[in-house]
Amino acid sequence: MRFSVERAAFLRALIVAGHVVERRHTSPILSNLRLDTGDGRISLRGTDLDIEASSACTAIVDAPGSTTIPAKIVEEIFKKLPDGAQIQVDGSKPGAVVLKAGRARFRVQTLPADDYPDLSAGVLDHHFTLPVSDLLRLVAECSFAIASEETRYYLNGIFLHAPDGLDRHEGLRAVATDGHRLVRLALPRPAGAEGMQGVILPRKLVAELGRLASVEGAAMFEVGVSSTKVRFARDDNVLISKVIDGTFPDYGRVIPQGNANRVAVSGAELAAAVDRVAAVSSSRTRAVKLAVEDGRIGVSQRDPDGGAGDDEVDAVLEGRPVEIGFNGKYLAEALTVLSAERMELALADSGSPAILTRVADPALLIVLTPMRC
């Protein structure tokens, strides 16, 4: 195997494929990437046995072949080579590849390509295209509510499904919850997703999708879904992942239906007030109290060791006044996701969950459970 490749092109593929590789693993070959060459292209593939990432780029291939290379070592080498460098890679001798760029020369150990695991996607029941903008929104607005408890592993991801009975405009749903807060995002349902079985996308896959969607490229992802695996492809980059084997809870039962007290407020102003009063607390999770009245929301926090903080913002209330407390960290994260737009809180009483939405965009819904102040 021999080829030459431009530094930036190979490094982009290295980063995509290598990001899923764990630095420490009981099996040495899982610290490597599989490298295949032929027909003027090279492809790289990495896996941790639950998720597989692959990427490709053009190259001048003198002798095709396959091997596996240490992911982190080769990535560090390419990062430290100068921009625009043309690298010659020679894997003609067993057990190693030699990389040359100008007067720099590196020799890295390899392992046989035949020993590298293949996380084939298999038969995928549903195929559709999803706009990159929708996927970016899914990652940005739902990730904060993913649980991290091993005992409730079925909450450690985003539930993607296409419920029956919804029109196309909001026919694809993404939901995440950790039991204390819940986020539901309604997206347009793409053709081909009808009847799709709901799947739970693991946290690691969600993070990798965010990275892949953030770079320049095609405007659409090609998506394939089965009951056990999912495949996301964009340009030369592909992610294949197992889905979480579990049953996502009936989240509709925890979304309040009778919150008649509604208050409209600037999300940016409320977020700033919450941040200011948190200065007195030694813990981000200490309760923040909201005193909702007509014309204002009082924001306060009390800490026996730090003191007290009080602030208020203008608001418009429809309904009766309510006092309610929330975990300060959870409230701040929800307000960050809702961003600076005008938002609405729908409240019942001090002991019932609250609903947070954007006034101009009800596709995103956040539920927060209250906390004693």
3 state SS of 267: helix
Looking at the structure, tell me whether residues 132 and 246 fall in a common domain.
yes
In a domain, 193, yes or no: yes
C-alpha 208 chain-centroid distance: 6
pLDDT of amino acid 221: 98
Do 243 and 51 meet the contact criterion of CB atoms below 8 Å apart? no
Phi then psi for residue 154, to 5 deg, are -70, -10
In a domain, 260, yes or no: yes
pLDDT digits (tens, 9 = 90+) for 301-352: 998 887 899 999 999 999 999 999 999 999 999 999 998 789 999 999 999 9
Q: How far apart are CA 296 and CA 292, in angstroms?
A: 6
pLDDT at 135 over 80: yes
Looking at the structure, tell me whether residues 107 and 147 fall in a common domain.
no
The number of domains in the chain is: 3
Q: How confident is the model at residue 168 (pLDDT cuts 50, 70, 90)?
A: confident
Q: What is the 8-class DSSP label of residue 179?
A: S
Domain boundary among 115, 139, 165: 115
Do 335 and 247 meet the contact criterion of CB atoms below 8 Å apart? no
The strand pairing partners of 109, in sequence order, are 96
pLDDT of amino acid 317: 97
pLDDT of amino acid 164: 85
Looking at the structure, tell me whether residues 7 and 110 fall in a common domain.
yes
What's the domain range around 31?
2-115
Q: What is the 8-class DSSP label of residue 190?
A: P
- The model carries a pTM of 0.94
Looking at the structure, tell me whether residues 139 and 107 fall in a common domain.
no
In a domain, 120, yes or no: no
Domain boundary among 237, 253, 269: 253
Looking at the structure, tell me whether residues 248 and 195 fall in a common domain.
yes
Looking at the structure, tell me whether residues 309 and 234 fall in a common domain.
no
Q: How confident is the model at residue 373 (pLDDT cuts 50, 70, 90)?
A: confident
Side chain identity at residue 238, one-letter code: V
Pairing of strands 86-90, 32-38: unpaired
pLDDT of amino acid 128: 97
Q: How far apart are CA 250 and CA 34, in angstroms?
A: 41
In a domain, 291, yes or no: yes
In a domain, 232, yes or no: yes
pLDDT at 283 over 90: no
In a domain, 145, yes or no: yes
Looking at the structure, tell me whether residues 332 and 354 fall in a common domain.
yes
Supply the CATH number for residue 216's domain. Answer: 3.10.150.10
In a domain, 373, yes or no: no
When the pLDDT of each residue in the chain is averaged and rounded to a whole number, the result is 94
Measuring CA to CA, which residue among 119, 115, 110, 84 is closest to residue 1? 110
pLDDT digits (tens, 9 = 90+) for 305-316: 878 999 999 999
